[in-house]
Amino acid sequence: MARLKYFFPDSQDFVDPSFDFVKETRNEHRVRQRDDLYPHEIFERPYDGMLVSKAVVDGLGTGESKYTRAQRLRFYREGMKKFFRLPEGMETMGDCGAFTYVNKENPPYTVDEVIDFYESSQFDYGVSMDHIVFGYDTPKKIITGTEKDECERRRQLTLKLAKEFLDKTKDKNFIPYGVAHGWNKETYRDSVASLLDMGYTHITMGGMIPLKTPQIIEVLDEIQPLLSEGIKVHLLGIARPESFMDFAKRGVTSIDSTTPLQQAFKDKKRNYHKVDGSAYVALRVPQLDGNVTLSRKIKSGAIDQDRARILERKALSTLFDYGDRKVGLEPTIQALMEYENLHAGEDKAAKVEADYQKTLQERPWEACQCAICQKLGIHVVIFRGAERNRRRGFHNIQVLYKRLVQTFAQQG
């Protein structure tokens, strides 16, 4: 059984190699993106390819692109692979970024504009334009009435756009993927059947991010009889490491997800991942001058600024010393919790103390041989600012990829 390929969706995720983690300063001449590093420039191979959305590069036509004008012009001038400085053999995929315009009545682009984006960016694969279908049938709630009508309108629109997309890409340099949407296994099956009838050999399953894993599995079971040899199936926005083999056995050939990156700074507990599937909470030491919630409390007088600064510096310096084995666990926990009590409140602090103690006591960064953990040490588990948090996310990405490779290697 072929291993799943993992594509990493980019959203301007890079780190500044000049950042000083003790002084928290950076090279004043640094130019974002040009001088910064992507995961594939830090690790030998953290994924099989990258996925970039038109909505990320161009925005929705109202100026909200994540790219600066200079970056966007250079992206189109250089093409996807050169802009991201991708290594030889790494694949590229483009999509529209349908979740960014999910609340609009219709997609904000034309099929021609999407094709032009894929061609000018020199992608290997391009995904047809789609419109997210809301909801999924459950025993407790079957989608009916006007809600069902809107689901069907969006599904039929997606299929219509897929047909136009395929007709117009026959002489293009990228391989077209058609998007299947639905609100139950039957409508997903009908969408896949329609795409195959059109002539698609590459299918993406869209709108599945909110679904529970059993719902995804039941859809894959439903469409599997339709999949002849050579048909490729991609799950948009889905990873679910515990289900890698379940997906592959049902015809899935590739996945993409930013979940490991986002969990580094969005999850309440699973911030630092290990290959065995376990995870640790990161040690929160918010920046006095950069944390909005903390700044608001200081301005309102709820927190004394001078005391906060003293406790912040004490927490950081003690953590640095703990990383270097200059102080023990008890004084480190004490310094960390003093600041935690101040910025989070005693009730919230009490809930995380045991998790903090576990992270410090087990020192997972020392057991990890990845380039980030080896270079950063304890900084990788400190929840503070984009440079630390994003590097922890990069660590999580390569952990996901290692887990993916190992899962299929164990199957022989």
Average pLDDT over residues 372-392: 97
Average pLDDT over residues 321-350: 96
Cβ atoms of 180 and 208 within 8 Å: the answer is no
- Element housing 164 (H / E): helix 145-168
Query: 3-state DSSP call for residue 193?
Result: helix
pLDDT at 339 over 70: yes
Name the amino acid, one letter, at 96: C
Query: What is the percent of the chain with per-residue pLDDT over 70, rounded to a whole number?
Result: 99
> Taken in order 368, 372, 377, 383, is the CA torsion positive or negative?
negative
Mean per-residue pLDDT of the chain:
95
Question: For position 282, what pLDDT does the model report?
Answer: 98
Question: For position 51, what pLDDT does the model report?
Answer: 98
**15 or 61: whose pLDDT is higher?**
15
Question: For position 61, what pLDDT does the model report?
Answer: 65
CA distance linking residue 307 with residue 124, whole number of Å: 55
CA distance linking residue 258 with residue 260, whole number of Å: 6
CA distance linking residue 134 with residue 209, whole number of Å: 11
pLDDT 10s digits, 144-175: 999 999 999 999 999 999 999 999 999 999 99
pLDDT at 189 over 80: yes
pLDDT at 64 over 90: no
Average pLDDT over residues 187-209: 98
Cβ atoms of 201 and 218 within 8 Å: the answer is no
Question: For position 62, what pLDDT does the model report?
Answer: 61
Question: For position 412, what pLDDT does the model report?
Answer: 62
Query: What is the percent of the chain with per-residue pLDDT over 90, rounded to a whole number?
Result: 89
Question: For position 63, what pLDDT does the model report?
Answer: 57
Question: For position 107, what pLDDT does the model report?
Answer: 95
Catalytic residues: 95, 256
Question: For position 297, what pLDDT does the model report?
Answer: 85
pLDDT 10s digits, 304-313: 899 999 999 9
Give this prediction's pTM: 0.94
Question: For position 146, what pLDDT does the model report?
Answer: 97
Question: For position 291, what pLDDT does the model report?
Answer: 77
Question: For position 295, what pLDDT does the model report?
Answer: 83
How far, CA to CA in Å, does 97 sit from each of 52, 326, 368? Answer: 8, 48, 34
Residue 299's pLDDT band (cuts 50, 70, 90): confident
pLDDT at 229 over 90: yes
**Range with the lowest mean pLDDT among 61-75, 272-286, 346-360, 384-398?**
61-75
Question: For position 410, what pLDDT does the model report?
Answer: 87
All domains in the chain, ordered by first residue: 5-257 (3.20.20.105), 279-400 (no CATH)
pLDDT at 337 over 80: yes
